[in-house]
Amino acid sequence: MNEKPMLRGEIFAENTAAIAEEYTESVSYDRKLFRQDIKGSRAHARMLARQGVLTGPEAEELLRGLDLVQKEIEEGGFVWKRKLEDVHMNIESRLTELVGEVGKKLHTGRSRNDQVALDFRLFVSDALENWQRLSKELIRVLTDKAEEHQEVILPGCTHMQPAQPVALAQHLLAYAWMLKRDFERMADAAARVRVSPLGAAALAGTTYPLDPDFVAEQLGFTGCFANSMDAVSDRDFALEPMFGAALCMAHLSRLCEDIIIWANPAFGFVRLPDAFSTGSSIMPQKKNPDVAELVRGKSGRVYGDLFSLLTTVKGLPMTYNRDLQEDKEPFFDVHETLSASLAVMAAMLKELRFNAGRMRDSLSRGFVNATELADYLAGKGVPFREAHRLTGRAVALAEGRGCGLEDLPLDAFKDISPLVEQDVYAVLSFEAAVKRRESPGGTGPRSVAGQLVSLRGWLG
Ligand code: ARG
C-alpha cells in the first residue's frame, strides 16, 4: 500500500523532507497510547453505526479489524512506521490493510484533534487510578508504622531545632494526611479528566449526526464536551493531575529529607535497610540513602515536566496547534516517575527500622520540655510572658551546668521562682509532655489513636 497519500493527499507535490519527518513524528513515543486509541476508535465505530452513518456490518468489520491490530501490537508483530507520523495514523493504516476499504470509513466525523485529546484523556484517567492505588498503599504502610510506634517519642522540631517532644506516630501520620490529600486531589481531577472530547472533530464540530454522549458513556466517562473549540484546545486535564503529582512528589521529598537526616549517625534515628541503601566506591564505612535522595531529586524533574507543559500551552492561539504534541512526553515522564517513587517509598518504609533508644536519648539535649516549665508556672498564676522569661533563665542555668531542665535541683528552680515545687519533675517528663497534648489533632495518645481509627476507616 502506498503510505504517502494518507496524510499528503493530492495537494503536495513533494514528499516531506526526511529531516522534517524525523522532527515532527510522534509515533516513537505516542505509541504508548495504542490501547486508548483503539478503545476510542471502537466507541466511535459503534456510535457511527448506531447513528446510521455506517451500517452494522461495516462497524462489525471495523471492530474485528481493531481487535486484530491490538493483538498484533501486543504480540510485538506490529510494524510502526515513522512516515505515518503518529499512533493514530499507524493504527488506521494497518486497520485498512487488514480489513480493506471499510477501514477508510473509521475516521468519518472525526479529526485527529479530537481523537488525540480523547486518547490522552483515557491515558491520564488510567494514570490517575494507578497513582491513587499506589498512594493509598503508601498511606497504609505509614499508618501501620505509626500504629507500631505509638509509644516511641522523639524531639519534634521547628526550624530544624528541638522544640517539643512528639510521638513518632504523630510525625509519621503527618505524612499520611498529606498523602491522603494528594489522593483526594487526584480523585477530584479525575472527574474533570473523564469528559469525552470526541465529536468536536477538527475544531468546529461536524455535519454528521454524531452522538458524543453515547461515546462518553461507552468509555465510562462522566460526560462530554460543551464546546468543540475548547475540547481540542486545552490540556488542563493533563496539567491538573501533573500539578497533583508535583505536589505529591514534594511531600515524598520532605519525607525523604527526614529519613536522610535521621539516617545520619549523628542522629541515628533510623537504620536504613541494606536492601535500600548503597555503598561508596571509596569509603568502606558508608551506607548511603540513595533511594531517598533520588526520590527527593526526582521531584525536581516532575516540577520541570509540569512547567514544560504549562509553558507549551501558554501562548497558543485557538485551537489545536502542533505544539500540543509536546504534551505527552512530560506527562509520561511524570507518570513513570511518580508511580515508581510511590512504589519504592512503600517498599522502603516497610523495611525501615526506628531506633527508639536514640530518639529517647536525644530528648535530653535541646530542652524540649521548656514549654512544660513555662506552662507549669503559668498554671501557678504567673502571666505567660513572665513564665516564658523565667523559663529562659532556667534553660540558661541548665545549659551552663551541662544538664537538662529535669536534672536541676529544686533549690535552683526555687531561686528562679519560689512557686516551683517537687511536682515540677513529673511535669518535665517527656512522656508526660506528650500525654498531656490531647488537644484535637495533637500528639497525645488519644488524639493519635483517633487519627489511626479515622485513617483505617478511610483505607477500608
Ligand atoms: N500527533 C498529533 C499530536 O499528538 C496528533 C494530532 C495531529 N493533528 C493535526 N492536526 N496535525 O498532537
Of 186, 280, 248, 215, the C-alpha closest to 39 is 215
Q: For residue 340, name the pLDDT band (cuts at 50, 70, 90).
A: very high
Ligand 1 and 391: CB distance under 6 A: no
Sequence-ordered list of residues with C-beta below 8 angstroms from that of 159, at least 6 positions apart, any chain: none
Give 377 Cα–ligand 1 centroid separation in angstroms.
71
Write out the H or E segment, with its range, that includes residue 156: strand 153-158
Q: Where are the beta strands (DSSP E) in 67-128?
A: none
Ligand 1 and 235: CB distance under 6 A: no
Do residues 349 and 376 both lie within one domain? no
Q: For residue 8, name the pLDDT band (cuts at 50, 70, 90).
A: confident
Sequence-ordered list of residues with C-beta below 8 angstroms from that of 404, at least 6 positions apart, any chain: 364, 365, 367, 369, 398
- Long-range CB contact pairs, 215-219, < 8 A, 24+: 215/40, 215/43, 215/44, 215/47, 218/42, 218/43, 218/46, 218/47, 219/39, 219/40, 219/43, 219/118, 219/122
pLDDT digits (tens, 9 = 90+) for 276-309: 988 878 787 888 999 999 999 999 999 999 999 9
| Nearest ligand 1 atom, CA 120 | 4
Do residues 209 and 329 both lie within one domain? yes
Number of domains in the chain: 3
Q: For residue 315, name the pLDDT band (cuts at 50, 70, 90).
A: very high
Do residues 173 and 318 both lie within one domain? yes
Indicate whether 8 belongs to any domain. no
Predicted confidence (pLDDT) at residue 214 exceeds the cutoff of 60: yes
Residue in 116, 235, 329, 332 to alter for ligand 1 test, most ligand atoms within 8 A of Cβ: 116
Predicted confidence (pLDDT) at residue 17 exceeds the cutoff of 50: yes
Grid coordinates of 306: 509540569
Do residues 98 and 221 both lie within one domain? no
Any idea what the CATH number is for the domain that residue 54 is in?
1.10.275.10
The arithmetic mean of pLDDT across residues 310-327, rounded, is 98
Out of 319, 343, 361, pick the residue that ends a domain.
361
> What percentage of the chain carries pLDDT values higher than 70?
99
Indicate whether 324 belongs to any domain. yes
pLDDT at 5: 56
Any idea what the CATH number is for the domain that residue 312 is in?
1.20.200.10
Do residues 45 and 57 both lie within one domain? yes
Do residues 258 and 219 both lie within one domain? yes
pLDDT at 284: 78
Average pLDDT score over the chain: 96
Please give the residue range of the domain that contains residue 173.
Answer: 113-154+167-361
Do residues 277 and 341 both lie within one domain? yes
Grid coordinates of 166: 512528639
Ligand 1 and 123: CB distance under 6 A: no
Predicted confidence (pLDDT) at residue 2 exceeds the cutoff of 50: no
Contact criterion met (CB below 8 Å) for 456 and 147 = no
pLDDT at 383: 97
Range of weakest confidence among 15-24, 71-80, 282-291, 395-404? 282-291
Do residues 200 and 327 both lie within one domain? yes
Q: For residue 1, name the pLDDT band (cuts at 50, 70, 90).
A: very low
Of 184, 187, 185, 149, the C-alpha closest to 167 is 149
Out of 108, 126, 141, pick the residue that ends a domain.
108
Ligand 1 and 325: CB distance under 6 A: yes
Contact criterion met (CB below 8 Å) for 115 and 229 = no
pLDDT digits (tens, 9 = 90+) for 45-75: 999 999 999 999 999 999 999 999 999 999 9
The arithmetic mean of pLDDT across residues 16-20, rounded, is 94
Give 372 Cα–ligand 1 centroid separation in angstroms.
65
pLDDT digits (tens, 9 = 90+) for 89-121: 999 999 999 999 999 999 999 999 999 999 999
Do residues 198 and 80 both lie within one domain? no
Any idea what the CATH number is for the domain that residue 404 is in?
1.10.40.30
Range of weakest confidence among 8-12, 34-38, 153-157, 310-314? 8-12
pLDDT digits (tens, 9 = 90+) for 228-246: 999 999 999 999 999 999 9
Give 197 Cα–ligand 1 centroid separation in angstroms.
14
Ligand 1 and 90: CB distance under 6 A: no
Predicted confidence (pLDDT) at residue 448 exceeds the cutoff of 90: yes
Do residues 144 and 235 both lie within one domain? yes
Do residues 85 and 128 both lie within one domain? no
pLDDT at 56: 98
Ligand 1 and 185: CB distance under 6 A: no
Do residues 238 and 344 both lie within one domain? yes
Indicate whether 5 belongs to any domain. no
Three-class SS of residue 162?
strand
Give 7 Cα–ligand 1 centroid separation in angstroms.
11
Catalytic residues: 159, 280
| Nearest ligand 1 atom, CA 202 | 10
Give 77 Cα–ligand 1 centroid separation in angstroms.
25
Largest CA distance in the chain: 101
**What pTM, to 2 d.p., does this model score?**
0.95
pLDDT at 441: 97
Predicted confidence (pLDDT) at residue 3 exceeds the cutoff of 50: no
Indicate whether 12 belongs to any domain. no
